[in-house]
Amino acid sequence: GRGMTTVAHCPLPADMIDYSALRLFKALIALLFCAVTSASPAFAQMSEVDMVAMAAHMEMTPRRLPTTADSIRAMGIVAELRTAVARYRDIRVAEADGFKMFAPQLKNQRVYHFTKNLWALENQFRFNPGKPTSLLYRKDDQGRFVLIGAMYTAPKQYSAADLDKRIPTSVAQWHKHVNWCLPRRREKSRWVETKNGRPVFGPLGVATREACDAADGRFMKEVFGWMVHASVFASDDPKVIWGEHHMRGDEMMDHGH
């Protein structure tokens, strides 16, 4: 249909085959989760090999010992975020305020990201606990959206010390996507290319510039900026609130489907 591109039976809106940062990121993630939820039984769930491959494309802030001040500051962020976004428990209110679903063509996501572009831009310049980049939802058994928390983002050039000023790195581990090999422009059909049974491109592909060059790809040291989830409505336990369960790389998949 008009405005759609299909790569190995994975449909993508045409404007997502674009190399601007946000659209590129959306296209890559959409392709990944289309692939892992495809008809092939081998991709029904991410394997241990997939996890290792995904880890090569992730950079995480180092853990440091927590202090009482860290805990108090993190609790303050949680309290402010809960108050600020509580009205978005009603998904219609969030959408009316400008939040749009990330990768809506992917069905049965485990966690749905609704992003507000203005707040995403503000996150690049300042940290406001009450203005996260995205809201995080899950669907209940009746298919209704349930607000579980939010995602903050930060510039990719930030150091661990910079990120610690926003949210204590002793409490939360920020992460960013790194070392991706992409097909060259106008070579969309290569997205699903494999070598020795493994993907060449994207978040499960080769992870070095040398391997990417050998595949005649385009290497990107950093794909997007830093990000961290705060599941403030999922629990009162800081380990659950700031837990990086989504770091498995399959946060948008529902393994029950």
Each residue's pLDDT tens digit, 2-12: 343 333 344 44
Helix (H) or strand (E) holding 72: helix 68-85
pLDDT of residue 18: 40
CA 76 – CA 63 distance, rounded (Å):
20
Mean pLDDT of the chain: 80
Q: Work out the pLDDT band at 250, boundaries 50, 70, 90.
A: very low
CA 57 – CA 16 distance, rounded (Å):
21
pLDDT in tens, 175-191: 988 888 989 888 888 88
CA 82 – CA 48 distance, rounded (Å):
35
Is residue 23 scored above 60 in pLDDT?
A: no
Which residues pair with residue 113 across a beta bridge?
136
Determine phi and psi for 95, rounding to 5 degrees. -65, -40
- Scanning the structure block, which residue is given the tokens 């039976």? 9
pLDDT of residue 74: 96
Judge whether 178 and 59 are in contact, CB under 8 Å.
yes
Query: Which residues does 56 contact at the CB level (< 8 Å), separation at least 6?
Result: 179, 207
pLDDT of residue 244: 59
| CA atoms in the 13 A half-sphere facing the CB of 205 | 35
CA 64 – CA 76 distance, rounded (Å):
19
The alpha carbon dihedral of 201, 14, 116, 136 has a sign of negative
pLDDT in tens, 125-156: 999 999 999 999 999 999 999 999 999 999 99
Is residue 210 scored above 90 in pLDDT?
A: yes
pLDDT of residue 136: 96
Is residue 100 scored above 90 in pLDDT?
A: yes
Total count of residues recorded for the chain: 257
pLDDT of residue 79: 98
